[in-house]
C-alpha cells in the first residue's frame, strides 16, 4: 500500500478498541476469519454498538495490507466525520433554504465518488447520503478527486437507504431516481421543490426498493452506441438541471 493509505489504517485488536473508545471515526474493520477470544468479542460488541462495518477475511488479505503484527485486525480510519441527515435537514429548512440532497446507492468506485462530491459541492448540494455497506471508502484517492470537497459537504451514512428515503419524503422532499428504466426524460420534471436525486452504480444501477420509493424516474437521452454515461457525469447532468431551474425560478 502507498504511504498515504498506510497512514489511514490501524492494526491490532487493542489499538483498534482504543481508537474506538477515543472517538475516532472508523470507516471499516477487517477481521481474520476463524479468530476467537475475549478481546475479539469485546471488539465485535463495540463495532455493533457503533454501527461500524466489519468484514471477515482470510489472513492473506490482512498480510497484503500490512506486514506488521496485525493480530488479525485491521481498521480503516476515515479522514472525515460522518453526519446524520436527520440532524442536517431541519437546519436547512430553518435557514429558509430549499433542501437539495444527493443519494448514492452502491457507488463503490472512489474516483467516481470523489468526482460526484466535487460537482455536488460546487452546485451547492446540502448533503450526500451513502449506505454503511457497499459504498466507496473515503481515502486519499477520493479526497484528491473531490478537490477537497469531501471536507466541505456533509456526508451522511445510513444503515438503510430505504428508511432514509421514507424520512426524506415525510420531510417534504421529492425523490427523483436517475435510471434507464423509464421513458421520461430528466428535463421534464420540476426540480425547484425540496429534492433528493438518487444515483446508482454503473454496474447495478439503483436498487429495486429505491426505484419503488422514488416519486419520479428520469433518464438521460443517449444518441450514441455506448449505452450509459459515467455515473459522475450523469450526476452532474441532473444536479445542474436542478440548479438551472432554481436559478430561473
Q: Tell me: pLDDT of 121 over 70.
A: yes
pLDDT at 136 over 90: no
Which residue, among 198, 166, 177, has the nearest Cα to 89 in the 3D structure? 166
| CATH 3.30.1330.30 domain span(s) along the chain | 3-77
Which pLDDT value is given to residue 3? Answer: 42
pLDDT above 90 covers a percentage of the chain that reads 71
Q: How far apart are CA 179 and CA 198, in angstroms?
A: 9
Cell of 161: 437507504
* Secondary structure (DSSP) of 133-161: SSS---SHHHHHHTTTGGGTS-EEEES-H
CATH superfamily of 85-248: SPOUT methyltransferase, trefoil knot domain (3.40.1280.10)
Rounded mean pLDDT, 55-72: 90
C-alpha cell at 40: 475479539
Q: Is the pLDDT of residue 2 over 60?
A: no
Q: Is 222 exposed, middle or buried (0-12, 13-18, 19+ CB in 10 A)?
A: exposed
All CATH 3.40.1280.10 domain ranges in the chain, comma separated = 85-248
C-alpha cell at 216: 419520479
Average confidence (pLDDT) over 157-162:
94
pTM above 0.85, yes or no: yes
CATH, range 3-77: 3.30.1330.30
Amino acid at each position: 500500500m502507498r504511504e498515504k493509505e498506510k497512514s489511514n489504517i490501524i492494526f491490532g485488536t487493542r489499538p483498534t478498541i482504543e481508537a474506538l473508545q477515543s472517538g475516532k471515526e472508523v470507516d471499516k474493520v477487517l477481521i481474520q476469519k476463524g479468530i476467537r477470544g475475549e478481546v475479539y468479542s469485546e471488539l465485535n460488541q463495540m463495532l455493533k454498538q457503533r454501527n461500524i462495518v466489519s468484514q471477515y477475511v482470510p489472513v492473506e488479505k490482512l498480510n497484503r495490507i500490512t506486514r506488521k503484527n496485525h493480530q488479525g485486525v485491521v481498521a480503516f480510519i476515515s479522514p472525515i466525520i460522518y453526519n446524520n441527515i436527520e440532524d442536517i435537514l431541519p437546519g436547512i429548512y430553518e435557514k429558509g433554504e430549499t433542501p437539495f440532497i444527493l443519494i448514492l446507492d452502491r457507488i463503490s468506485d472512489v474516483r467516481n465518488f470523489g468526482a460526484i462530491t466535487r460537482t455536488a459541492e460546487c452546485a451547492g448540494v446540502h448533503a450526500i447520503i451513502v449506505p454503511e455497506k457497499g459504498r466507496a471508502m473515503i481515502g486519499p484517492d477520493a479526497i484528491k478527486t473531490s478537490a477537497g470537497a469531501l471536507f466541505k459537504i456533509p456526508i451522511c451514512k445510513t444503515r438503510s437507504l430505504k428508511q432514509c428515503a421514507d424520512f426524506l419524503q415525510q420531510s417534504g422532499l421529492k425523490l427523483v431516481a436517475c435510471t434507464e428504466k423509464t421513458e421520461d426524460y430528466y428535463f421534464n420534471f420540476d426540480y425547484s421543490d425540496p429534492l433528493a436525486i438518487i444515483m446508482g452504480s454503473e454496474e447495478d444501477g439503483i436498487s429495486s426498493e429505491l426505484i419503488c420509493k422514488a416519486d419520479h424516474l428520469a433518464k438521460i437521452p443517449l444518441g450514441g452506441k455506448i449505452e450509459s454515461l459515467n455515473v459522475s457525469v450523469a450526476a452532474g447532468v441532473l444536479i445542474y438541471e436542478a440548479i438551472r431551474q432554481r436559478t430561473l425560478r
